[in-house]
Structure 1
Amino acid sequence: MNFENLEVWKHSKALSCELYKDLKNLRDYGFKDQITRSGLSVPSNIAEGMTRESEKEKFRFLSIAKASCAELRTQIYIGIDINYIDKVTGEKWLDLTRLIAAMIEGLMKRIQTNLLKP
Structure 2
Amino acid sequence: MTIRELAEKLGAEILHEEFADTPVMGAYTSDLLSDVMANAREGGVLITIQAHKNTIAVATLVNVTAVIVCNTRPVPEDMLDAAREEGIAVLRTKDNQFTVSGKVYNLLSAKTE
TM-score over 0.5 for the alignment? no
Alignment TM-score, normalising by the size of structure 2: 0.29
The structure whose residues are more often strand, as a share, is: 2
Alignment TM-score, normalising by the size of structure 1: 0.29
The structure whose residues are more often helix, as a share, is: 1
